[in-house]
Amino acid sequence: MKRRSFIKKTTAAGIAASLPVGLIGYSDNVREKARIALIGAGLRGCSHLRNLLLRTDIEITAICDINQSRIDIAQEMIVKAGYKKADVYTGSDLAYLDLLTRKDVDGVIIATPWLWHTRMAVDTMKAGKYAGVEVSAATTLEECWDLVNTYEETGVPVMILENVCYRRDIMAVLNMVRQGMFGEILHGRCGYQHDLRQVLFNDGKTNHGPGVEFGKKALYEARWRAEFSLKRNADVYPTHGLGPVATMMNINRGNRFISLSSFATKARGLHEYIVNHPAGGQSHPNAKIEWKLGDIITTTIATSNKETIIVTHDCNSPRPYSLGFRIQGTKGLAEFDMHTRRIYIEGVSPQGHVWEEMDSCLEKYDHPLWKKYSDLATGSGHGGMDFFVIHAFIEIVKRKEQAPLDVYDAAAWSAVTPLSEMSIAGGGELQLFPDFTRGRWINRRPVFALIDDY
Amino acid sequence: MKRRSFIKKTTAAGIAASLPVGLIGYSDNVREKARIALIGAGLRGCSHLRNLLLRTDIEITAICDINQSRIDIAQEMIVKAGYKKADVYTGSDLAYLDLLTRKDVDGVIIATPWLWHTRMAVDTMKAGKYAGVEVSAATTLEECWDLVNTYEETGVPVMILENVCYRRDIMAVLNMVRQGMFGEILHGRCGYQHDLRQVLFNDGKTNHGPGVEFGKKALYEARWRAEFSLKRNADVYPTHGLGPVATMMNINRGNRFISLSSFATKARGLHEYIVNHPAGGQSHPNAKIEWKLGDIITTTIATSNKETIIVTHDCNSPRPYSLGFRIQGTKGLAEFDMHTRRIYIEGVSPQGHVWEEMDSCLEKYDHPLWKKYSDLATGSGHGGMDFFVIHAFIEIVKRKEQAPLDVYDAAAWSAVTPLSEMSIAGGGELQLFPDFTRGRWINRRPVFALIDDY
């Protein structure tokens, strides 16, 4: 099969869905440069911008944000990198729609508050431009379907920019999984265990730390993210953990999520934070708020291949950061986070029933992508993984190829938010996953990070 | 309240259930010695016997086993310890019923295969003798109720001999929980993650290792335990993990288990073990067996106080032993097993967002029981915890007091087996716990290990 064999764009969706995604392009015309627009120039958007500007195969033709100070910061970055200023779209929440009418945009990176992800990705696809959308991609099942249906109607790829899939240890473990080191995979654990209280609140002037304000009185993520703790009792941020495990279990590619059950603890963390904060206290207006999001959300997912996955959301309590990964198969298992990395493989580990440190394994099974690009990745953000997620997006835009983390991944991973919410509302009631691939998962083949290309 | 105030035995059950269990005895007549009978003189029974024989406040008046060689071993232990031989009951599965007619037995330790636990404990209570029953106490909901109803009818205590509740690190953490170090408790994790493949099979001659036989062709636990992997898809052994977390969360004492959902992975481990074993292979008859028990069982429990607990059963795969404990509250959390012990308490741990090793905490919060008895406990089996569980049983028998781990604990913890089985059969369907206390959990108060007594 020719790597970039020509497929007419009008039939792309139908064919792409039945062929190994990522190995098929739309056209022989490879772009030398990807012309990128950025919707959302906040902290995350500018982090992506920094990585984009380190490359020589991009142009930033347009940026969009409702906040002038963020536009100024982005423009300064662009100019400092030796590029000419981007055209600016601002002034209203819907200014991005004008940006999408431009002819000189091949791909759009969407790094906005969560409630904008799906609609912007949908509009981007409809405009015929590659959409790179930050996590989560969707917050309701309807939005998950919007992504899928728009992709299938337009044939334009959307990539979920799940950076943790590209973490060096994750990719080494993926490599080990694919080489059969763990045997047949049985079980995974993952999640987002990250004390975000200083992210959810600030004083409206300074990020990260001072103040107990959120919403319109706050800046940055506190301006919109705390609302999800206020209004929703769900795993509101499932993909950092689930994405990596999904790639290891070939979800949507010979396997799929079947069902889940979710449980929430009581909600105490944010109230206690406000009450105990120097800027807060019992008499602070926010001390009266009842937060809906349980402090710890536990979700168990069953797959069609009869694996199970535990996904944790734990962001409103004091705790060290930990994604809490485990991957376990018939021959052994690995457990790792920033602080502990241990592995046991029967017949390989030097001593029976005794853990090994993972360091030598991580080195030995270092993924080809990391071997090739570690120099470029180093310092790119979040331990280097941010380089790879942008690299992959730029490469598919240039080559007009399918996304390695595609619309079905975006939908299935993000669906954990609404499904966990319904399960929790039913006290742990079982929920079934929609099959976003419409049955095609049975013959879709794995594409993520197969080689050292992107 | 007088510690040993007299309460008529006939009303004991009704009153005991409404009063702080463990602080009330039946009588002022404290026995100087506990006259103990042992039903089951296998590996576990003889381990208890060894701890009993180190004491000066016991007599072993009778032993029961269907296996003459185990009786011989037990008698030799008894004689070597300077006691006279015990009377023997053997010859049939029901020989223990004759033992229970003896007048010179105050308490009975039941260390038999799981299917005998409940019926022997019930018969023991009916005979007016304290029952110390090994874990799990029951394998069906009907058996859980049998224990509860018999206790309430007879007023005779049954204690579940859950040794892990007495592990030194567990008790130090319990101490920390009670002192509020973790704040309000939110979440626990626990389980039984222990590669038992060499326990589930042997060659009928030697324990632990050779052979892939089970049932009648095997010895020791392989003779009966493997049947549970063959026939039941459930967390068949939940109490080692759940008991300690239950004591920390005051289950049945101001709190209770409300519901659970369980998921099973596919079953691969035992088949692979048989096929790859030198004594097995593809052509071995046991290679054809379809094992019902999923290799990894994940259960999430919700409590009435809105905590959640993840319980894992993982015994049929290669892996290092780990109970995988976590206890987490509004102020911090501890995660510990044999290999990793880490803790983080906001404002106490020296560095924000960074784990501490637990060693100094475990020393600082060493439980009063361990401080008092560590010399005696050392070497008693399973790191010393076996001393304490026997110590507690003997003390309640001597003092005629209620059990610190009582019939409601035995029922609620053991109920996870049938409830998880039903949930798994329904693909993760939510199951509700019976309230074995018949509503009395709302005013029952914690009694486990409150002081340095037992």
Residue with tokens 């590659």: A130
Long-range contacts, B341-348 (Cβ 8 Å, 24+): B341/B169, B342/A339, B342/A340, B344/A318, B344/A319, B344/A320, B345/A318, B345/B181, B345/B182, B346/A318, B348/B181
How confident is the model over A9-40, as pLDDT tens digits? 333 444 444 433 443 444 567 999 999 999 99
Run of H or E including A176: helix A168-178
Nearest CA in chain B to A268: B330
Q: Is the pLDDT of residue A453 over 80?
A: yes
Binary contact (B259, A428; C-beta < 8 A): yes
How confident is the model over A73-121, as pLDDT tens digits? 999 999 999 999 999 999 999 999 999 999 999 999 999 999 999 999 9
Mean pLDDT of B114-121: 98
Calpha distance B158→B402 (Å, rounded)? 8
Calpha distance B238→B228 (Å, rounded)? 13
Q: Is the pLDDT of residue B347 over 90?
A: yes
Residue B281 in contact with partner chain A when CB distance is under 8 A:
no
Q: What is the pLDDT of residue B449?
A: 97
Q: What is the pLDDT of residue A340?
A: 87
Nearest CA in chain B to A182: B318
Mean pLDDT of B225-247: 98
In degrees rounded to 5, what are phi and psi of residue B59? -135, 145
Mean pLDDT of B188-211: 93
Look up the pTM and report it. Answer: 0.94
Instruction: Tell me which residue in B320, B354, B427 faces A430 most closely, judged by beta carbons.
Output: B427
Which of the pair, A399 or B207, is modelled with greater confidence? A399
Calpha distance A364→A352 (Å, rounded)? 21
Which of the pair, A399 or A3, is modelled with greater confidence? A399
Residue B331 in contact with partner chain A when CB distance is under 8 A:
yes
Q: What is the pLDDT of residue B28?
A: 62
DSSP state string for A351-396:
STT--EESHHHHHHT--HHHHHHHHHHTTSSGGGHHHHHHHHHHHH
Task: Give Cβ neighbours of residue B367 (< 8 Å, ≥ 6 apart).
Answer: B168, B171, B172, B174, B175, B449, B452
Binary contact (B342, A339; C-beta < 8 A): yes
Q: What is the mean pLDDT of chain A?
A: 93
Q: What is the pLDDT of residue A11?
A: 39
**10 Å Cβ neighbour count for B153?**
12
Residue B235 in contact with partner chain A when CB distance is under 8 A:
no
Q: Determine what percent of chain A is predicted with pLDDT higher than 90.
A: 89
Task: Give Cβ neighbours of residue A275 (< 8 Å, ≥ 6 apart).
Answer: A281, A282, A284, A287
Q: What is the mean pLDDT of chain B?
A: 93
Q: How far apart are the first and last CA of chain A?
A: 19
How confident is the model over A134-145, as pLDDT tens digits? 999 999 999 999
CB A218 within 8 A of CB A206: no
For chain A, domains (ranges, CATH) are: 24-163 (3.40.50.720), 166-367+406-442 (3.30.360.10)
Task: Give Cβ neighbours of residue A415 (< 8 Å, ≥ 6 apart).
Answer: A138, A141, A144, A257, A433, A434, A436
Q: Is the pLDDT of residue A7 over 50?
A: no
The number of CA neighbours under 13 Å toward the Cβ of A71 is 16
Mean pLDDT of B7-20: 39
**10 Å Cβ neighbour count for B364?**
10
Binary contact (B296, A426; C-beta < 8 A): no
Q: What is the pLDDT of residue B270?
A: 98
Q: What is the pLDDT of residue A28?
A: 62
Edge-to-edge strands, sheet with A58-64 = A87-89, A58-64, A34-39, A107-110, A130-133, A158-160
- Enter the tokens of residue A304: 């069609």
Shortest CA gap B330–chain A (Å): 6
Q: What is the dihedral of CA B378, B379, B383, B385, to 10 degrees?
A: -70
Buried b or exposed e, range A46-76, using 16+ CB within 10 angstroms: bbbbbbbbebeebbbbbbbbbeeebbebbbe
Mean pLDDT of B308-312: 98
Calpha distance B362→B358 (Å, rounded)? 6
Q: Is the pLDDT of residue A1 over 50?
A: no
Whether residue A304 has a cis bond before it, omega within 30° of 0: no
Q: What is the pLDDT of residue B22?
A: 41
Q: What is the pLDDT of residue B27?
A: 53
Q: Could you tell me which of A439, A418, A424 has the C-alpha nearest to residue A140?
A: A418
Mean pLDDT of B142-154: 98
Q: Is the pLDDT of residue B21 over 80?
A: no
The number of CA neighbours under 13 Å toward the Cβ of B188 is 30
Shortest CA gap A124–chain B (Å): 38
Binary contact (B332, A344; C-beta < 8 A): no
Task: Give Cβ neighbours of residue B337 (< 8 Å, ≥ 6 apart).
Answer: B321, B322, B323, B324, B325
Q: What is the pLDDT of residue A27?
A: 53
Q: How confident is the model at residue B100 (pLDDT cuts 50, 70, 90)?
A: very high
Q: What is the pLDDT of residue A3?
A: 33
Give the pairing of strands B296-303 and B332-336: unpaired
Which of the pair, B208 or A364, is modelled with greater confidence? A364
Mean pLDDT of B262-277: 98
Shortest CA gap B115–chain A (Å): 29
B416-425 vs B141-154: helix axis angle to the nearest 10?
150
Q: Is B144 helix (H, G, I), strand (E, B) or coil?
A: helix
Q: Is the pLDDT of residue B210 over 70?
A: yes
Q: Is the pLDDT of residue B19 over 70?
A: no
Shortest CA gap A143–chain B (Å): 26
Q: How confident is the model at residue A200 (pLDDT cuts 50, 70, 90)?
A: very high
Q: How confident is the model at residue A255 (pLDDT cuts 50, 70, 90)?
A: very high
- Residue B83, class by beta-carbon neighbours within 10 Å (0-12 exposed, 13-18 middle, 19+ buried)? middle
Shortest CA gap B424–chain A (Å): 11
- Residue A175, class by beta-carbon neighbours within 10 Å (0-12 exposed, 13-18 middle, 19+ buried)? buried
Q: Among A61-70, A159-168, B24-33, B441-450, which stretch is predicted with the lowest mean pLDDT?
A: B24-33
Residues from chain A that touch B261, judged by Cβ atoms under 8 A, are 261, 263, 300, 428, 430
How confident is the model over A334-361, as pLDDT tens digits? 999 988 899 999 999 999 999 999 999 9
Q: What is the pLDDT of residue A29?
A: 77
Q: Which of residues 186-205 of B touch A (CB under 8 A)?
A: 186-187, 195
Q: How confident is the model at residue B380 (pLDDT cuts 50, 70, 90)?
A: confident
In degrees rounded to 5, what are phi and psi of residue B343? -145, 150
